[in-house]
Amino acid sequence: MSDSDGASTARPPEDAEGRRARRERVLKIVIEALLALYCIVLALFDHTNLRQAIPPLAALSTVVLVLVAPPRREPSRSRELFVGALVAFLLVNLAALTVLTKLPGAGRLHSKNSHVYEVALALAAGLGVRDRAMARRLLTVILVAFGVRYVLQVVSLPWCEEAFRGGRLQGVGSFATVLAMEFTVLFSLYLGSIAISRGTASALACVLAALLMTGLTLMTKTRFGLLTMVFVTLPAAIVVQKRIGTWRRRLVIALAWVLVVAPAASFCWWCCNPGRHPMGAARGRFEAWEGAVRIAAAGPVPNMLIGYGPFRNVYRAAAAHNGMGPGDFPLHAGGRKQCPDMRFVPVHAHNVVMQRLVETGVLGAGALIMVWAVAFWSSLRAWLWGPEPAASLAGVLVVSLLTIAVMGQMDCLLYWTAGRLSWFITGLAFASGTWLAPPGSVDADPGAGPAEGESLPGEVAAAGAPGAPTIPAPPASP
């Protein structure tokens, strides 16, 4: 009887562990299916109601996953910072909507400005994607779905005045800058994914897709999209591409590109498009940024903290509320100092952080910066100190997140399809750092080590290699 009692007492822990593993598998499958469906809907159908319904379901499933099967590793400070920054960003948005008085002329509330669905998407991607294979499959869905979308659109696009309004590719019912932001984000994904391609066919497909995004961006004639591609995305992709050689060789190639090839290519493009010189747009951007700072500083303390609300025309409404008019924006108004028409005031700040400063104040802008910073550090840490092939996948996300951050300083990137992709990539970038475990632990990724001849500081050297330097352990999460 004592033996049977002992067996009965020893069995429940095993059953509990088995049930926990089954629940975790089911929830991970549900989360992956929801996120994959979101990518397909975003790329091919863009059905608004379905697109808005998926992120809350994925976020709810992620919360259940965390409660039912918490991560085996100890909770890291970076995870707390990431979740806390997302929650703070959402709460500031909701507070700005409910506490502040709506300004005259601010326009109707638009759901895309509150970013409720996008925050849920980033949370699901950041905490629900728990392994490299799941992230790779989701990234493949994004690349294939958007590749199919734009191949079909290139074939069926009406190559006429309707699609090329003003001599620039506008698409049908869209804007050149909106398309260029989307093309730039996708270009970073396709170009970075060459590093993780399995076989010549997939690598060639990524190269062709990157060339397609480049050609479409050239047709939009959007200056900052092209500059971001040439001076940020491509050099960053060279640096993270470990197949090229050692980190010194990659750095030399990237610097040669930035200092020699990229300026020459940019000069040739400007010679062919003399009316699209970037300095004109840069001066207009600086004026809009200065206006955003003045709007935020001129208001009372509540508006400085939580902004004026995420409304469609909040920039112009807040400028008028603080006594600013076309005379304060001479470049946009064309010298019309006394003109009362607010159409000559910028419609937005042409900068993600500055726009959030107007909409959600210092707290909202600070929360957004924290989300980006934590996600970028997480993916960078995984690329520097993670084992292969997880490190190469993290490198793709490093390139894409860096592209998003730079492009976001030139326009309001958090909106439309490019913005939704940016939130999803931000979540995946944070998740890539959660796969990094101490060498030899039960959670360590069993992938191979660094490429042969690689000696980037912080990467794991081959055990017993003659003359191998002593490499410090990766730093703790911030």
CA distance readout (Å), 455 to 246, 348, 378, 458: 7, 46, 21, 8
In this prediction, residue 112 carries a pLDDT of: 63
Concatenated DSSP letters of 17-50: HHHHHHHHHHHHHHHHHHHHHHHHIIIII--HHH
Let me know: does 454 contact 247? Beta carbons within 8 Å: yes
In this prediction, residue 465 carries a pLDDT of: 38
Let me know: does 59 contact 118? Beta carbons within 8 Å: no
Q: CA angle at residue 47 from 45 to 50, to 5 degrees?
A: 120
| Residue 443 maps to a domain | no
| Residue 294 maps to a domain | no
Side-chain-side CA neighbours of 447 within 13 Å: the count stands at: 22
| Residue 295 maps to a domain | no
In this prediction, residue 47 carries a pLDDT of: 72
* 96-99 CB contacts, 8 Å cutoff, 24+ apart: 96/306, 96/307, 96/308, 96/309, 96/310, 96/359, 96/360, 96/361, 96/364, 97/309, 97/310, 99/302, 99/306
Tokens 């200056």 belong to 223
| Residue 227 maps to a domain | yes
Distance CA 101, CA 309 (A): 9
Type of residue numbered 239: V
Look at residue 425 and give its three-state secondary structure: helix
In this prediction, residue 108 carries a pLDDT of: 61
Concatenated DSSP letters of 432-466: HHHT---TTSTTS-----SPTT---TTSPPPTT-T
Distance CA 117, CA 48 (A): 11
In this prediction, residue 281 carries a pLDDT of: 65
Q: What are phi and psi of 79, to 5 degrees?
A: -65, -40
Distance CA 397, CA 420 (A): 15
Q: Whole-model pTM?
A: 0.83
In this prediction, residue 173 carries a pLDDT of: 59
| Residue 323 maps to a domain | no
Distance CA 166, CA 155 (A): 21
In this prediction, residue 106 carries a pLDDT of: 60
| Residue 178 maps to a domain | yes
The number of domains in the chain is 1
Distance CA 106, CA 126 (A): 33
Tokens 């703790």 belong to 476
Q: CA angle at residue 413 from 304 to 91, to 5 degrees?
A: 40
**Per-residue pLDDT tens for 276-304?**
555 556 777 788 888 888 888 887 888 88
In this prediction, residue 89 carries a pLDDT of: 92
| Residue 4 maps to a domain | no
In this prediction, residue 121 carries a pLDDT of: 93
Distance CA 422, CA 424 (A): 5
In this prediction, residue 125 carries a pLDDT of: 93
| Residue 311 maps to a domain | no
Residues of the chain with pLDDT under 50: 1-2, 4, 7-8, 74-75, 333, 335-341, 438-472, 477-478
In this prediction, residue 276 carries a pLDDT of: 58
How many other C-beta atoms lie within 10 A of the C-beta of residue 332? 17
Side-chain-side CA neighbours of 418 within 13 Å: the count stands at: 29
* Parent domain of 193: 17-70+80-281+347-434
CA distance readout (Å), 431 to 6, 82, 304, 378, 426: 42, 10, 32, 8, 9
